[in-house]
Structure 1
Amino acid sequence: MNQEKAKIQQLIEDYLSNKIRKADLDIFLNGFSQKIVKEEYDKVLNAYFNELVISEKRKPNDGLDNLKISKEAQRITKPSVKPENRFLNHWKAAYRIAASLILIGGIVSLFWVYLNNYSGKEEKSEIISLEERIVPPGKKGSFTLSDGSFIHMNADSRLSFPFRFEGKNREVSMAGEAYFDIERDESRPFIINTEKVKIKVLGTSFNVKAYKGENEVSVSVESGRVLVSEISENPQQYELTVNQKLIYNLVSKSFQVVNEDLLADLDWRKGILKFNQTSFREIEKTLERWYGIDLIVEDPAIYQKKIRGVHHNESLKAVLESLEFAFGIKYEIVDKTVKLKTM
């Protein structure tokens, strides 16, 4: 405990002196909701202020430039009659303390907002440092978590996770689409939080599609068992097994579980675009993410079309040419913008 307090005190002192590193700042802010951190912060802040007052009493007259005190503060506190020399040091000390109080007040306000934002949340037993992986449109990425779990992320996706997993659960948050191959650990379930759905597993492989702004979240299981539930006060829960897919509609708040060949949901990892009577509105979003483009449909009649086709690691131009040949959709590419209309 003493070692933990010493670490917290050092983090706070580094923060107040503006010497804290980014990694340590993340640790500090993520742990500030803990009681021990707040108590140590109060102690350090009091000690900081007391030392400030004592040091100002001992300081010689060395000018105010180094303190960068605002002109407005000087105007308000400056007396109309020039003070005698014996009062000069007291005025300068007051300036320094006032400036430091402004700094401290800003820090306190920052943490007050931080605490209010996190009020009501469950207290963590340890300080947790979070990391985030972001895959932009037109790209894909993969990496391995500290527990050995493998993640393959599709375009326009993000995942936040702790540097290392502590406690009873291994918990991450995501938006977008990703394939998970989770290292089995009976004692610590792996939990994925999306905006509306929570997925809980022990050790399995599955795909999650949960893009922001879309009306559906889907979970497709390749191996093992997966528990899916709403994020709500009275959540519905469903257990999925191999080759089962769950679709959650965010508008109707309804679940649908289907048994089918899930290769189409997993082929994106191999660079395969597969459309099976897919609406063009869905294809529009897919192409924008896949190739990192803006797609403009100039003829609304295109949205009435349903598309079939398979494309293996093909360029944007090759895909557009196939749409032009098979469905009479003419295209024009200008930088990162593609315009579509019927021929």
Structure 2
Amino acid sequence: MGNDRFIELVSKKLTNEISSEESAELEHCLNSDEINRRDFEFLNIYWNSNDTEFADNALAFQKIKTKIKSQEADSFLASGSKRSYSYVWRAAAAVVLLAGCSWFFYSRFVSKRINLLTATPNAWQNKNTVKREKSTIILADGTRITLNSQSTLKYPAVFTGKTREVYLSGEAFFDVYKDHEHPFIIHTEKMNIKVLGTAFNVKSYPNDPQSETTLIRGTIEVTLDDRPSDRIILKPSEKLIVKNGLFATRHRNAAKLKHAETGSGMQYVLTTFTRLQQDDSTIVETSWTQNKFIFRDESFPILADRMERWYGVDIKFKNDALKQYRFSGVFEKETISQALNALRMTESFNYKIKNSTIYIY
């Protein structure tokens, strides 16, 4: 795909003017070219940001687009051809987006590199999110991290040495910039994940009974804090579960499962990530990045913990017998009351809301 076409598709995507066919074309371009995909992600973040200079470019583009539509309307209807409109569209898109890109790359990369050169090598940054909050962080190397609610990420202002290391408590989706000479390592309470360049989800909340790592693409190597000699290699679509100080992975291959158990003396249970439906591309483990709350055969206490983070509430059980219930479902725009009422349709319980605390009985 040529640069002109890429610019045209990106401009339409950012301004919500893209057709389904064009969206599929852009998606193919982003999936087949990592540089284009990363550039688009950066532009998308800052196009939707509150930065004044970039917002001015967005406003300028909208004004040009409106003017084009007004001036080209008559000739378009008379000739039945989109050629003139398409040509002017590309020209306007190129002018505004290239101006935006020029500002973007200068201010976000050149000036950032200058700041990094003067940064203290051992200076660490902390990013914290509260309930109902998500945040996107771009690290010094270009790695993009989406942080889920009630999570903490500790990372250096600039990476030095032979590795790129960060610390996570909570949940985050990582899209790691490829650098084979400097492996990227994520430290959590129970495990360490080593990657070169890939996309995966890590869930490791301090009070949860288990931690998870779900690999979307690439390859990752996981080690456990209390068993550093054991190395678990995950391939795309595989998920590693760590619970109560032991780790469990599930795999489709029964022979491999038996071998793993015999070789390590520990329980290996390998599983794949979960699709919402067979004909749906949504992955349950990463659905939170798309503002979807999906749960599959989840116990009531675990579901309650997730709902606390999602809705910004506290949930307390007044009847322990209710903790045996298990639920499956999908929430997107439902309020907390609507969500609880939906759960009550499958299991019998009552609830009472007092301020931001919910009592289940």
Structure 2, unaligned stretches of length 5 or more? 1-119, 248-266, 276-282
Q: CA RMSD in A?
A: 1.7
The alignment of Structure 1 onto Structure 2 pairs a total of residues equal to: 216
Maintained 8 Å contact 1:158/1:175: yes
Alignment of 1:223-262 (within 5 A): 223-232=217-226, 234-252=228-246, 255-261=268-274
The letter of the residue matching 2:213 is V
What do the CA deviations read for 1:232-261 (whole angstroms, capped 9, x no partner)? 364311111110001122334555322343
What do the CA deviations read for 1:103-135 (whole angstroms, capped 9, x no partner)? xxxxxxxxxxxxxxxxxxxxxxx8410000001
Maintained 8 Å contact 1:248/1:256: no
CA distance in 2 between counterparts of 1:309 and 1:215 reads 21
Q: Describe the shift of the 1:255–1:285 C-alpha distance in structure 2 as closer, same or farther (beyond 3 A).
A: farther
CA distance in 2 between counterparts of 1:227 and 1:213 reads 24
Maintained 8 Å contact 2:215/2:237: yes
CA distance in 2 between counterparts of 1:246 and 1:285 reads 21
Matched residue SS, 2:180: coil
CA distance in 1 between counterparts of 2:230 and 2:242 reads 11
CA distance in 1 between counterparts of 2:301 and 2:227 reads 33
Maintained 8 Å contact 1:217/1:250: no
Identity fraction in percent: 30
- Report whether the alignment pairs 1:311 with 2:331: yes
- How far has the Cα of 1:215 moved from its partner? 2.9
Tell me which of 330, 335, 339 is aligned to 2:355: 335
Maintained 8 Å contact 1:246/1:255: no
The letter of the residue matching 1:135 is T
Tell me which of 170, 175, 186 is aligned to 2:180: 186
Alignment of 1:35-184 (within 5 A): 127-184=121-178
Maintained 8 Å contact 2:190/2:245: no
CA distance in 2 between counterparts of 1:234 and 1:227 reads 12
Tell me which of 177, 196, 199 is aligned to 2:193: 199
- How far has the Cα of 1:214 moved from its partner? 2.4
Matched residue SS, 1:295: strand
The letter of the residue matching 2:306 is T
What do the CA deviations read for 1:137-158 (whole angstroms, capped 9, x no partner)? 2211112111111111111100
The letter of the residue matching 1:264 is V
Matched residue SS, 2:222: strand
Maintained 8 Å contact 2:190/2:242: no
Matched residue SS, 2:346: helix
CA distance in 2 between counterparts of 1:268 and 1:204 reads 19
Matched residue SS, 1:248: strand
Maintained 8 Å contact 1:196/1:250: no
CA distance in 2 between counterparts of 1:294 and 1:302 reads 17
What do the CA deviations read for 1:4-36 (whole angstroms, capped 9, x no partner)? xxxxxxxxxxxxxxxxxxxxxxxxxxxxxxxxx
Q: Describe the shift of the 1:151–1:255 C-alpha distance in structure 2 as closer, same or farther (beyond 3 A).
A: farther
The letter of the residue matching 1:140 is K
Q: TM-score, normalised by structure 1?
A: 0.60
CA distance in 1 between counterparts of 2:141 and 2:121 reads 18
The equivalent residue for 1:321 is: 341
The letter of the residue matching 1:241 is K
CA distance in 2 between counterparts of 1:231 and 1:306 reads 31
Maintained 8 Å contact 2:121/2:157: no
Tell me which of 286, 311, 330 is aligned to 2:306: 286
Larger CA Rg, structure 1 vs 2: 1
Between the two structures, name the one with larger relative contact order (CA 8 Å, sep ≥ 6).
1
- How far has the Cα of 1:221 moved from its partner? 0.3
The equivalent residue for 2:319 is: 299
CA distance in 2 between counterparts of 1:252 and 1:273 reads 27
The equivalent residue for 1:218 is: 212
The letter of the residue matching 1:267 is S
- How far has the Cα of 1:334 moved from its partner? 1.2
Q: Describe the shift of the 1:170–1:251 C-alpha distance in structure 2 as closer, same or farther (beyond 3 A).
A: closer
The letter of the residue matching 2:241 is I
The letter of the residue matching 2:205 is Y
What do the CA deviations read for 1:40-89 (whole angstroms, capped 9, x no partner)? xxxxxxxxxxxxxxxxxxxxxxxxxxxxxxxxxxxxxxxxxxxxxxxxxx
The letter of the residue matching 1:296 is K
Matched residue SS, 1:236: strand
The equivalent residue for 1:208 is: 202
The equivalent residue for 1:31 is: none
Q: TM-score, normalised by structure 2?
A: 0.57
Q: Describe the shift of the 1:320–1:150 C-alpha distance in structure 2 as closer, same or farther (beyond 3 A).
A: same
Maintained 8 Å contact 2:299/2:326: yes
Maintained 8 Å contact 2:214/2:273: no
